[in-house]
Amino acid sequence: MGWMGLSLRVRILSIFAILLAVALIAVASWQSVRQKGALSGTAAAALSGYAAPGRLIDIGGRKLHIDCSGAGSPTVILVAGGDAYSIDWSLVQPKIAPTTRVCSYDRAGLGWSDPGPADETVEQTVSDLHALLAAAGEKPPYLLVGASIGGIYIQAYQHAYPADVSALVFTNSSSHVGLAVKNSIGLLWNLSEDQIRSIYPLPASAKGSAPTSEDDPFDRLPPSLRQERLWLDTRYWQSFDPQKATPASMLSWRKEFLREFEQAKGSTAPPLGALPVTVVASGPTGSKADCAARKSASDCLDFLSSNTVHVTATGSGHEIHLYQPETLVRAIGQTVLAVRNHAPLPNISLS
């Protein structure tokens, strides 16, 4: 894994301890505050020689990058994990485009997108995506696909704009986020706001060294995209100042996790009714008991709707869209058909 993956997490393990368990989510995005002198996505793209593959859309004084292809409804929106880019969907998006409209995009401060005032918070992410889709002329209904931490973003989007969302697909989403606070490790949703704030600002050493390669799982991308991704990682590393980092994104994630746990226990009926929900994970179906005990947020995903299927990507690493893209493509395709036909989700065979 490259700089924005495992090597970064290892460098700062003494501060942010990541719990490597089932469906571990990438958490590098907590350090989303950029140096004031960082290039905007638009200016950096012009200087780099790596042009944005999609469109740069103005959402009100800043631009976000979105890359859409194909035609048809529902429109599939691919939401990447922490510090991941639109190009990370390159093994999935081209295989969905022949059957329906599909868009990948870069959240604020990532890829070719300009930074915003509160990058990677749930509130800004949801607001940005809604504004981006409207300004880009993309029409609902949307089938939202969330990888890793993208799982809490798509749940929050559905909560804010339920009429726009026709289905949810989770891919190793919303599992464990652990923090080391005063030499002890706690799950994000079990820590207080003051405990989270206490570990900021980060020490200068958290910056680590510059990225030099794109390793597992990004070595599954074509060579040209690996080089492009290394440039994106390098630009991100150059702009990152750990001493200017704030707890805003972590506090936002904590709030959303707590809302989702409360939603899960608030009623005997599934909180999302019969909304199609497909859970693609490298592990088995979650447990209601573990969901109630808040052992892992991903345990609750299988019980969000009465119209849910669980697809196990046996043997896959965390990034199913890179390790087993065909599994995810098939799951998304079956969910698209269920939405179009107003039919229950089928049991998805991986054979």
- Residue 258's domain comprises 3-341
| Residue 296 belongs to domain with CATH number | 3.40.50.1820
Percentage of the chain lying above the pLDDT 70 cut: 85
Q: What is the pLDDT of residue 350?
A: 52
pLDDT of residue 37: 31
Check if the beta carbon of residue 294 is closer than 8 Å to that of residue 189.
Answer: yes
For the chain, strand residue ranges (E) read 55-58, 63-69, 75-79, 102-105, 142-147, 165-171, 178-181, 184-187, 277-281, 308-312
Asked whether residue 346 is assigned to any structural domain, the reply reads: no
Is 249 within the bounds of a domain? yes
**23, pLDDT greater than 60:** no
Torsion angle of C-alpha atoms 323, 326, 329, 333, degrees rounded to 10: -150
Whether residue 196 is contained in a domain is answered as yes
Within-domain flag for 36: yes
pTM assigned to the model: 0.88
pLDDT at 25 over 80: no
Question: pLDDT tens digits for 29-60?
Answer: 323 333 323 344 444 443 456 999 999 999 99
Question: Number of helices and strands (H, E) in the chain?
Answer: 11, 10
How many domains is the chain built from? 1
350: in domain: no
Give dist(CA 326, CA 324) in Å, integer.
Answer: 6
pLDDT, one tens digit per residue, over 275-318 is 999 999 999 999 999 999 999 899 999 999 999 999 999 999 99
pLDDT tens per residue across span 63-122: 999 999 999 999 999 999 999 999 999 999 999 999 999 999 999 999 999 999 999 999
Q: Considering the domain boundaries, does residue 348 fall inside one?
A: no
Within-domain flag for 242: yes
Residue 137: the pLDDT is 98
Where b means 16+ CB within 10 Å and e means fewer, 113-140 reads bbbbebbbbbebbbbbbeebbebbebeb
Q: Is residue 351 part of a domain?
A: no
